[in-house]
A and B are shown apart, each in its own frame.
Chain A
Amino acid sequence: RKEVEQDPGPFNVPEGATVAFNCTYSNSASQSFFWYRQDCRKEPKLLMSVYSSGNEDGRFTAQLNRASQYISLLIRDSKLSDSATYLCVPSTGTASKLTFGTGTRLQVTL
């Protein structure tokens, strides 16, 4: 089983749509969780940290279910600029070792 599993997509959605990404992780010792976005041939950029109670940042909402080892990201009112690959990233240990999957690709169209 992969350590981080995400639907690779692509998810093709029109501008203004709401889209949700799901992610499962296998290491129950994971302590912190993040969503990064990565544009083609660029570095990953931190989108948001994910807290146990769930958290919202503008159009983005993240949820964490530790019992099911499941993380989600909801994007409302999609913009063309949201087109990217979204990476669900758990971290483990005091050194905060991040575990990356291959991500979910989102393409927002006119």
Chain B
Amino acid sequence: DAGITQSPRHKVTETGTPVTLRCHQTENHRYMYWYRQDPGHGLRLIHYSYGVKDTDKGEVSDGYSVSRSKTEDFLLTLESATSSQTSVYFCAIRQVDAYEQYFGPGTRLTVT
């Protein structure tokens, strides 16, 4: 299995609070991605990173920010959580010379 961990694995938070999710890899892969998965939808890309301090938006980036200060860590921040951000969040990694992505175990976030 790819060396990807996500923390926390489960979180319940209140509307309006800030939340940060962490993705950590031990593979030294250049590319990292954040997705969300909701019932009735496939996984949707939130943001991705193609190197330290290099990030770009995905299709559902509103309300989210990311940071990557080290190769191994990619942080996803919800500045002010809303109930519509209740979801399962998956991180993925990819080598620069391949197209396959490998996913972490996910974080279940509930915003009440």
Contact = CB atoms under 8 A, between A and B. Distances in A.
Nearest to A36: B103
A102 B94 CA distance: 22
A56 to B, nearest CB: 18
B106 A101 contact: no
Interface in A80-99: 87, 91, 95-99
A31 B44 contact: no
B48 interface: yes
A46 B31 contact: no
B106 to A, nearest CB: 5
B100 A49 contact: yes
Contacts of B31: 95-96
Contact of A102 (B42, B48, B106): B42
Contacts of B43: 44, 98, 100
Nearest to A87: B42
Interface of A: 4, 31-32, 34, 42-46, 49, 87, 91, 95-103
The 3 closest A-B pairs by CB, nearest first: A100-B42, A43-B103, A32-B99
